[in-house]
Amino acid sequence: MSKELLNATKIGELIKTLRELFKYHQDLQDRREVAISIQRPKIPPLLSRSLVVDLGNRGGMRSLECSDFDLLPGKKNNVVAISSNRQVKIIVKATGKSAFQNLGNKDIDADFLVWVHFNRYFEDDWLHEIEILTLREPKRIFPQSRKITLAAFKKEGGESIVSINVNLDQYMSMSTIRRDEDRFLL
């Protein structure tokens, strides 16, 4: 696996760190009026790509009908996998509560478009799941680049879109176990 990807433990650590960051951001806005001028934290693309690769290699992305997920060498933004003995290109997009994306030409030209929707996962501790939507051959549905909301994506994609819910607690528990092991070793 590429060194640029996060393993399951690091995914869990990043999820925990992002929850802390989003909470801190919200706390600042609650305490100081001027803090509303500070932009919300962004979800790093590395997290969504690492999630898709990890889930794919664990069999959690069955709708893609692929194996051997990794990053495309030389193009760290693209995920690749093997399907029917050929390499396929997978573009991964991610959103938070804004649920808004810009689908560019490279996105719609991919073999698969995967939209990882975190929604308010990082803001709300009581949330455990995110939604991952998969669209095969996005150009069939979206012939040209455009800006789009998740609601419009779902409506226009219709039955061509496969949606799964993923419980991210599994990653956070892996991170906790690893940290406990580290403490034990010290």
pTM of this prediction? 0.89
pLDDT at residue 85, rounded to an integer: 85
pLDDT band at 176 (very low <50, low <70, confident <90, very high): low
Query: Which one is predicted more confidently, 138 or 77?
Result: 138
- What is the model's pLDDT at position 159? 96
Q: What three-state secondary structure class fits 91?
A: strand
Question: What DSSP designation does 41 have?
Answer: P
SS3 131: strand
User: Strand 86-96 vs strand 112-119: parallel, antiparallel, or unpaired?
Assistant: parallel
Predicted confidence at residue 72, as pLDDT, reads 80
Give the DSSP letter of residue 148.
Answer: E
In the prediction, which pLDDT does 133 show?
A: 97
Q: How large a percentage of the chain has pLDDT more than 70?
A: 90
Do residues 81 and 64 make contact, with C-beta atoms less than 8 angstroms apart?
yes
